[in-house]
Amino acid sequence: MNQDLRENYSYLLEDELLVEIEKHSLLKNYDCGDEIIRQGQYIKSIPLLIEGTIKVSRKDELDDEIMLYYIEEGETCAISMNCCLGNSKSQILARAETPTKLLMIPVEYMDEWMAKFKSWREFVLSSFQTRLNEAIYTIDSLVFLKMEERLMQYLRDKTKIVHDTAINITHQEIAKDFHTSRVVISRLLKKLEIEGDVKLHRNSIEVISL
DNA sequence: ACATTAAGTGATT
DNA sequence: AATCACTTAATGT
């Protein structure tokens, strides 16, 4: 029946389950740029990607989109599963990045399959895990950029106080001020040094770009 | 020379 | 980002 399904999922999901999926899912095709899931919409089936790439994003109060992540072949959308399970509105917007082929699985089967098929349970769980990890990573990097700016500001302020471009301070002491670990500060400072904003010495930091 | 403390790094969560 | 574990560099005794 469905060659594509087998190609992408046979190593992940057991045969019996694949048959079930074939029986109950609906094959859909999208062209580049097509909206698959709109923000605020209720989701009644979860997508299983067969071919193509989907960009998942979120719109803020204004109109600009914030890209959350991509879904590629052999993956599913953890957020849409979450919406299904909670029967809540979609918080996200999914758009086909390339021509896309996917299977829509009606929500009703989620529960049944979760109980019946170990492979399905693992697949769903690992999807959640992967997604969550990526989300954490994304958030961290945003905070990280803020930290770098804060650190630079902090150093500049210090030079004003000391009336010197060289500040006598250890990474550990800075870490305390920032409520973070010494390792994090060391890494940030190292980066600033590579970027040429600062010169590092033992027990002191020289601020280059004031 | 040896010990102590500061700083750098990679891997993991 | 945080933490661990470990290495390397600088300094003091």
Nearest to A173 by CA among A205, A144, A146: A205
Least Cα distance to A46 among A103, A123, A117 occurs for A103
Sheet with A204-207, side-by-side order of all strands:
A166-168, A204-207, A198-201
What domains can you pick out in chain A, each with its CATH number? 3-116 (2.60.120.10), 145-207 (1.10.10.10)
A153 touches strand B (CB under 7 A): no
Q: How far apart are CA A178 and CA A149, in angstroms?
A: 12
- Using CA atoms, how far residue A178 sits from A100, A171, A175, A202, in Å, is 46, 11, 5, 20
Task: Identify the pLDDT of residue A167.
Answer: 92
**Which candidate, A55, A14, A9, A10, places its Cα nearest to that of A32?**
A55
Task: Say yes or no: Cβ of A181 under 7 A from any atom of strand C.
Answer: yes
Residue nearest to nucleotide C1 (CA to C1'): A140
CA of A146 to C1' of B4 (A): 34
For A84-95, write each residue's pLDDT tens digit. 777 778 878 888
Query: Which among A90, A91, A56, A82 is positioned nearest to A71, based on CA atoms?
Result: A56
Nearest nucleotide relative to A202: CA against C1': B6
CB A107 within 8 A of CB A44: yes
Cβ atoms within 10 A of the Cβ of A161, count?
Answer: 8
Span A128-149, pLDDT tens digits: 888 888 778 777 767 777 788 8
In angstroms, the CA A209 to CA A155 distance is: 10
Is 0.85 topped by the overall pTM?
no
User: Does at least one atom of strand B sit less than 7 Å from the CB of A129?
Assistant: no
> CA–C1' distance A129–B8 (Å)?
31
pLDDT band, residue A41 (cuts 50/70/90): confident
pLDDT at A170: 93
Give the closest residue to C2 (Cα–C1′). Answer: A181
Distance A126 CA to C6 C1' (A): 32
Token digits for A164?
A: 């010197």
Span CA (A174) to C1' (B3), Å: 25
Give the residue with minimal CA–C1' separation from B8.
Answer: A186
Q: Which of the two residues, A100 and A142, has the higher pLDDT score? A: A100
Q: Considering only CA atoms, give the Rg of chain A.
A: 24
Q: Which nucleotides of C are covered by protein (CB under 7 A)?
A: 1-5, 10-11
CA-wise closest residue to A84 among A34, A54, A130, A48: A48
